[in-house]
């Protein structure tokens, strides 16, 4: 399945003279998103005159969603599950597309009960399904499933629903929450504290005294892979401390293989970018995109980083509008480009960002460097190497 060429994570340098771009080796659309978009356009094409709904925003990209909407697609809810169109309005003659993140068993059943042909335009990504299968297997083997994900994210809600149908499940957002959950493995905190602390994030009938003796970790596929691994390693250690090494398999299931290749590759390519001596980083993607926010997070470790959703956020050489995803607010930064030459800019994007947007961002920057070599010349040189 893996493209062998994708094993090289070194960035590409596009040297325009006064400005240089380091482009991540892997960025942009993943298989799941590309497939989902293709199927959405196909659904529109095949169902002229019918209502075509998308369960939620297909991908976390404003432009693609706006284009689909302009062609007649209606969104049933937003990414957090807030309903735009009530279920009563949807009937058996309507088309409902399931997004790449998948959906919950409850919603699938609700649509099936209405007679909607759910499977016809089900674009659930096979890598998400792989996580569900793994979670279901853990449940069947009597392990409790710890899901590393953002509790409100549609993929995590879908994974939780599938996993909770087969086994006890609990969601942890990050390492800090994992450490808090571990207090209930070791017996450091009480049952009632658990119900308060993890409200809304555990399956029905969950008993922290009984259901944290055997666990396995799966993730929302767009989480930071290294964090999921760290959480799994952490719980492994907690179980060894409590039950001893010899009995580990009885208490902890190894789930290393559930990470999505696209998220992994984009993140690995970002780690390579971190080794560079660059002046700033620009990450392009939707402001509600989970995988993009993790790339931003990584870049911020070493560079001044601007998270933008399109080239139109670069207002001028002096002014850029960008998103602070930690505070969930838009920001304006002035004089963000130093006079230094050559200026070294890292450029990458998330899994739900069309590659053309990255091109447009680069071209926008080039407008500020009249002495820059023409794009065709650089790409020609690049093609010959």
Active site residues: 155
Minimum CB–partner distance for residue 132 and ligand SF4 (Å): 11
Length of the chain, in residues: 385
CB-based contact 364:347 (threshold 8 Å): no
Does 32 sit near ligand SF4 (CB under 6 A)?
Answer: yes
Residues 139-198 that bind ligand SF4 (CB under 6 A): none
Report which residue's Cβ sits closest to ligand SF4: 32
Give the residue with the Cβ less far from ligand SF4, 100 or 232: 100
Minimum CB–partner distance for residue 109 and ligand SF4 (Å): 23
Q: Which of 19, 23, 24, 30 binds ligand SF4 (CB under 6 A)?
A: 30
Rounded to whole angstroms, the Cα distance separating 31 from 28 reads 10
Does 28 sit near ligand SF4 (CB under 6 A)?
Answer: no
Q: Which of 14, 19, 58, 125 binds ligand SF4 (CB under 6 A)?
A: 125
Q: Which of 14, 24, 33, 378 binds ligand SF4 (CB under 6 A)?
A: 33
Residues 282-301 that bind ligand SF4 (CB under 6 A): 291
Q: Is 330 left (phi over 0), alpha (psi -120 to 50) or beta?
A: beta
Q: Taking Cα atoms as reference points, which of 83, 103, 97, 108 lies closest to residue 157?
A: 103
CB-based contact 240:233 (threshold 8 Å): no
**Please, which residues bridge with residue 146 across strands?**
170, 217
Residues 92-121 that bind ligand SF4 (CB under 6 A): 100
Q: Which of 6, 9, 31, 272 binds ligand SF4 (CB under 6 A)?
A: 31
DSSP 371: T
Give the residue with the Cβ less far from ligand SF4, 221 or 228: 221
Give the residue with the Cβ less far from ligand SF4, 281 or 353: 353
Sequence-separated contacts (24+) of 175-184 with Cβ below 8 Å:
175/227, 175/230, 175/231, 175/234, 178/146, 178/148, 178/231, 178/234, 178/235, 179/234, 181/146, 181/212, 182/234, 182/235, 182/238, 184/208, 184/209, 184/212
Question: Quick one: tokens of 204?
Answer: 């029905």
Q: What are phi and psi of 167, to 5 degrees?
A: -165, 170
Q: Which stretch binds ligand SF4 (CB under 6 A): 28-36, 37-45, 226-234, 316-324?
A: 28-36
Give the residue with the Cβ less far from ligand SF4, 262 or 269: 262
Size of the site for ligand SF4 (CB under 6 A): 15
Binding mask 253-282 for ligand SF4 (x = CB under 6 A): -------x-xx-------------------
Rounded to whole angstroms, the Cα distance separating 131 from 78 reads 23
Q: Which of 20, 144, 169, 221 binds ligand SF4 (CB under 6 A)?
A: 221
Cis peptide before 342 (omega within 30 of 0): yes
Question: Quick one: tokens of 154?
Answer: 């549609």
Footprint of ligand SF4 (CB under 6 A): 30-33, 100, 125, 127-128, 221-222, 260, 262-263, 291, 351
């Amino acid at each position: 399945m893996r493209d062998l060429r994708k094993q090289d994570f070194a960035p590409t340098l596009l040297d325009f003279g006064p400005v240089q771009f380091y482009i991540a080796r892997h960025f942009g659309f993943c298989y799941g998103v590309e497939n989902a978009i293709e199927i959405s356009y196909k659904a529109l094409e095949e169902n002229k005159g019918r209502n075509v709904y998308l369960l939620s925003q297909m991908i976390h990209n404003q432009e693609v969603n706006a284009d689909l909407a302009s062609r007649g697609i209606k969104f049933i809810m937003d990414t957090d599950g807030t309903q735009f169109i009530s279920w009563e309005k949807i009937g058996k003659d309507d088309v409902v597309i399931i997004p790449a993140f998948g959906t919950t068993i409850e919603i699938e059943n609700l649509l099936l009960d209405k007679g909607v042909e759910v499977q016809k335009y089900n674009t659930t990504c096979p890598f998400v399904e792989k996580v569900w299968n793994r979670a279901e297997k853990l449940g069947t083997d009597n392990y409790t499933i710890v899901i590393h994900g953002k509790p409100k994210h549609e993929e995590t809600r879908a994974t939780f629903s599938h996993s909770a149908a087969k086994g006890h499940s609990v969601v942890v957002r990050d390492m800090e929450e994992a450490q808090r959950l571990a207090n209930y493995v070791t017996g450091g905190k009480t049952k009632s504290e658990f119900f308060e602390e993890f409200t809304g994030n555990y399956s029905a009938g969950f008993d922290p005294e009984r259901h944290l003796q055997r666990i396995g970790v799966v993730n929302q596929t767009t989480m930071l892979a290294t964090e999921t691994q760290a959480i799994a390693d952490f719980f492994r250690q907690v179980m060894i401390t409590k039950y001893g090494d010899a009995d580990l398999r009885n208490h902890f299931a190894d789930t290393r293989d559930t990470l999505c290749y696209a998220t992994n590759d984009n993140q690995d390519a970002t780690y390579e970018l971190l080794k560079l001596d660059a002046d700033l980083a620009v990450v392009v993607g939707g402001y509600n995109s989970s995988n993009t926010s993790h790339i931003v997070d990584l870049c911020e470790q070493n560079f001044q980083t601007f998270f933008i959703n399109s080239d139109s956020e670069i207002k001028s050489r002096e002014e850029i509008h960008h998103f602070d995803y930690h505070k969930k607010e838009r920001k304006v930064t002035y004089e963000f480009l130093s006079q230094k030459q050559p200026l070294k800019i890292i450029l990458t994007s998330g899994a739900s960002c069309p590659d053309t947007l990255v091109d447009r961002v680069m071209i926008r920057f080039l407008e500020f460097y009249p002495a820059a070599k023409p794009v065709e010349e650089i790409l020609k040189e690049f093609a010959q190497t």
